[in-house]
Chains A and B, each alone.
Chain A
Amino acid sequence: GAGVSQTPSNKVTEKGKYVELRCDPISGHTALYWYRQSLGQGPEFLIYFQGTGAADDSGLPNDRFFAVRPEGSVSTLKIQRTERGDSAVYLCASSLTGPSSGANVLTFGAGSRLTVL
């Protein structure tokens, strides 16, 4: 597509429920990133895919968070047993090649706002 598309744009759920957030990156972009932005904070890195594999998942806060990108395009971020502290805007970004010899310019989607009650 023309840009990075994220669905849903808003998700309200109850504590303890399971949530999936979807990201459709720019066509042809091999690298895909998930970030989380809490109120008053900058985007915080969660996980990065190069193709189908997770190249770096060091930012995932705990094992309730998991992400997949089975065909190297669309990615899904999955959060189990949601907690109120998971409330944030989850941002997805893609880049043509990922970290390389030049500046790694990421193109972001508009985000999915998750509210856990």
Chain B
Amino acid sequence: DQQVKQNSPSLSVQEGRISILNCDYTNSMFDYFLWYKKYPAEGPTFLISISSIKDKNEDGRFTVFLNKSAKHLSLHIVPSQPGDSAVYFCAADQAGTALIFGKGTTLSVSS
């Protein structure tokens, strides 16, 4: 049973618009949530994280929102750029265990 779910396999957005990537989870014991970005033939790279006691964290063009009651988080990228085209993974962190990843969402940003 998947503990971290990314239900949209792909998302297409125009340059300059907002990209919203969604993630749902089932385990209320997760302490942190992380977003990773992956280009082809490279390993995933860390983007941004959020503690389970926060509801928002912002870093430049990237903002992550957490809704604990709905067990849902989202990554907002604004404005989107063609270089943002990649696979985005949501991951959950529970103290003492390894990160659990979702299946990923492929973002395509067209110019």
Contacts and interface: CB of A to CB of B under 8 A. Distances in A.
Nearest to B87: A42
A34 to B, nearest CB: 10
Given A43-B44, A45-B98, A110-B41, A104 B104 contact: no
Interface stretch (B14-22, B72-80, B89-97): B89-97
Contacts of B103: 40-42
Interface residues of B, number: 27
- Classify the interface of chain A: helix, strand, loop or mixed: loop
Q: How large is the interface on A (under 10, 10 to 19, 20 to 34, 35 or more residues)?
A: 20 to 34
A103 B94 CA distance: 9
B67 interface: no
A106 interface: yes
A93 B43 contact: yes
Interface string B20-36: 00000000000110101
B86 interface: no
Interface centre among A33, A40, A105, A110 (most CB of B within 10 A): A105
10 contacts: A91-B44, A99-B93, A101-B95, A103-B51, A103-B93, A105-B49, A106-B99, A108-B44, A109-B43, A110-B43
Interface of A: 4, 33, 35, 40-45, 48, 56, 59, 91, 93, 99-111
